């Protein structure tokens, strides 16, 4: 009997070892990819941020004070776009989650359809609609109204961020609300809760993980975007992404651009860490 148990134990160990070997082999391509295209570029950014033609230096970091207004403007735009996406996206996600299956599929297709197009194409399409000679202003002129100067304004850039990143807010919230057990809302109704109380005390607390995920997925690309601000800002609005691109195009300012990129990475990591802190009760949703 003891010999049988020992053989069974050895067999289990061999299976575990073979499974572990297979898992390591399966993960190897992903690890190589991460090292080559994530870790290595980040190390290069750190290296160039603290070096110049004369070697190691902190001057690149010290020069970042000249770009404080750009940082503040980028953070403000990203926060405004994120709040607007949340105010629009949460009711839309709730409506989609509570709709009939057929209506839900149609709404999902309509939401996902713009994402099938490249970001550049979507931004150009928005320019064609909102430009001074675009479809919107042409229509306003025909009906005798004043034209709206949206392209080249702060509003135009924020509108572009909301338009491009709204699905990233809606989808995680929709997924979370769809998974909420109907018995919770039924119990709240049996206990005399109004629709508003059910929303604020049951549905919203249970969907916080989706809200936090959506906030992160909108805030991170919004703060680092540059193409939207270039086209919809008409070159008048300079955000962090625009500054980094411009600095990297000139060899003499390459190191300063790397320093700004390093600060950007730190800001994004801090924001992700804060979001994870607030989602601890859900077991963490952001890696």
pLDDT at 106: 92
Return the pLDDT at 238.
86
Q: Is the pLDDT of residue 44 over 70?
A: yes
pLDDT value of position 6: 55
How far is C-alpha 113 from the geometric centre of its chain's CA atoms? 18
In this predicted structure, the answer to whether residue 125 has a pLDDT above a threshold of 90 is no
- Residues 125/116, Cβ–Cβ less than 8 Å: no
* Out of 17-26, 75-84, 169-178, least confident range: 17-26
In the numeric block, which tokens belong to residue 153? Answer: 């304004």
**2 has a pLDDT exceeding 60:** no
Top mean pLDDT of 96-105, 145-154, 233-242 is at 96-105
Q: pTM for the complete prediction?
A: 0.82
Higher per-residue pLDDT: 77 or 8? 77
Q: Which residue has the higher pLDDT, 252 or 178?
A: 178
264: exposed, middle or buried (Cβ count in 10 Å: 0-12, 13-18, 19+): buried
Residue 143 pLDDT grade (very low, low, confident, very high; cuts 50, 70, 90)? confident
How far CA 59 is from CA of 25, 50, 67, 245, 253, in Å, comes to: 44, 8, 14, 20, 12
Mean pLDDT of 259-282: 76
Using CA atoms, how far apart are residues 35 and 200, in angstroms rounded to an integer? 44
User: What separation, in Å, do the N-terminal and C-terminal C-alpha atoms of the chain show?
Assistant: 47
Band (pLDDT 50/70/90 cuts) for residue 4 is very low
On the question of pLDDT at 286 being above 50, the answer is no
* Residue 270 in this model has a pLDDT that exceeds 90: no
pLDDT at 271 over 80: no
Q: Which of 91, 90, 88 is nearest to 159 (CA)?
A: 88
Reference 204, options 194, 196, 214; nearest CA is: 196
Cross-strand bridge partners of residue 55: 52
The dihedral through the CA atoms of 27, 29, 35, 41 has a sign that is negative
What integer best gives the mean pLDDT of the chain?
Answer: 84
Q: What is the pLDDT of residue 279?
A: 60
pLDDT at 145: 83
pLDDT > 90 in the chain, percent: 25
**pLDDT value, residue 235:** 78
pLDDT tier for residue 285 given thresholds of 50, 70 and 90:
very low
Mean pLDDT of 53-82: 89
Task: Tell me the pLDDT band of 157, cut-offs 50, 70 and 90.
Answer: very high
Question: Which SS3 state, helix, strand or coil, does residue 146 take?
Answer: coil
List Cα–Cα distances, 251 to 24, 235, 238, 246, 264, in angstroms. 41, 22, 20, 10, 20
Q: Is the pLDDT of residue 155 over 50?
A: yes
Query: What's residue 283's pLDDT?
Result: 40
Q: Kindly report which listed range (14-28, 110-124, 171-185, 220-234) carries the lowest average pLDDT score.
A: 14-28
Selection from 158, 204, 177 nearest residue 97 by Cα: 177
């Amino acid at each position: 009997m003891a010999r049988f148990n020992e053989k069974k134990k050895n067999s289990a160990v061999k299976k575990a070892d073979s499974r572990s070997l297979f898992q390591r082999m399966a993960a190897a391509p992903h690890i190589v990819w991460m090292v080559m295209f994530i870790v290595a570029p980040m190390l290069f950014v750190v290296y160039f941020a603290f070096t110049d033609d004369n070697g190691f230096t902190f001057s690149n970091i010290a020069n970042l004070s000249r770009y404080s207004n750009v940082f503040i403007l980028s953070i403000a735009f990203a926060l405004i776009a994120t709040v607007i996406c949340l105010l629009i996206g949460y009711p839309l996600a709730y409506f989609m989650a509570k709709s009939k299956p057929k209506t839900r599929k149609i709404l999902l297709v309509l939401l996902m359809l713009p994402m099938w197009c490249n970001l550049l194409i979507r931004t150009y399409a928005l320019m064609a609609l909102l430009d001074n000679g675009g479809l919107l202003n042409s229509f306003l002129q025909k009906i005798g109204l004043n034209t709206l100067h949206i392209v080249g304004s702060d509003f135009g850039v924020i509108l572009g961020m909301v338009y491009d990143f709204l699905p990233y807010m809606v989808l995680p919230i929709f997924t979370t609300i769809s998974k909420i057990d109907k018995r919770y809302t039924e119990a709240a109704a049996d206990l005399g809760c109004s629709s508003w109380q059910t929303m604020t005390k049951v549905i919203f607390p249970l969907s916080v993980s989706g809200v936090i995920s959506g906030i992160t997925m909108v805030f991170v690309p919004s703060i680092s975007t540059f193409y939207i601000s270039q086209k919809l800002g008409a070159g008048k609005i300079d955000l962090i992404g625009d500054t980094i691109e411009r600095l990297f195009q000139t060899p003499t300012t390459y190191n300063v651009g790397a320093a700004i990129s390093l600060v950007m990475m730190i800001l994004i990591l801090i924001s992700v860490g804060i979001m994870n802190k607030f989602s601890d009760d859900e077991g963490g949703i952001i890696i």
